[in-house]
Amino acid sequence: MLCLCSRESVIWINEGKRDLIMKDYFRNNESTSDDLRRQRSKVAKYVKLGKRTGYSLWLIAIILFFGLFFTDFDGPLVVILLVCLITGCVILLPSIVLSYAVRAADREDQQHT
């Protein structure tokens, strides 16, 4: 028998029968939904920061591209352009996906209340 523990719950896995038995420490549904809303707002705050950072890096990359387009394409500015573009993409990907997840969860909450 295997026990997976976290703050919110304990999961017992019986490997022979593959049964999952979950015991929640939160017995009150209201406290669970409040905790989820609090956690969702925290994720939304980080998503907003990630989107701002990612789009700002893309803006810097676009400005650098047009600046370098009318001059020569060499020097350290090309490296900065590539770093801004790639870093912006890496930051934006999870931010956009998580923003859709947060919006869907909010929509689901509004429909059930």
For residue 42, the model assigns a pLDDT of: 94
**pTM for this prediction:** 0.68
For residue 11, the model assigns a pLDDT of: 52
Other CB atoms closer than 10 Å to residue 14's CB: what's the count? Answer: 11
For residue 95, the model assigns a pLDDT of: 97
Q: At what angle do helices 29-69 and 76-112 cross, to 10 degrees?
A: 150
Please tell me whether residue 11 adopts helix, strand or coil conformation. strand
d(CA 29, CA 16): 32
Reading the chain (113 residues) residue by residue, the pLDDT tens digits are 445 555 555 555 555 544 444 444 445 555 677 888 899 999 999 999 999 999 999 999 999 999 999 998 888 999 999 999 999 999 999 999 999 999 999 998 888 87
For residue 6, the model assigns a pLDDT of: 54
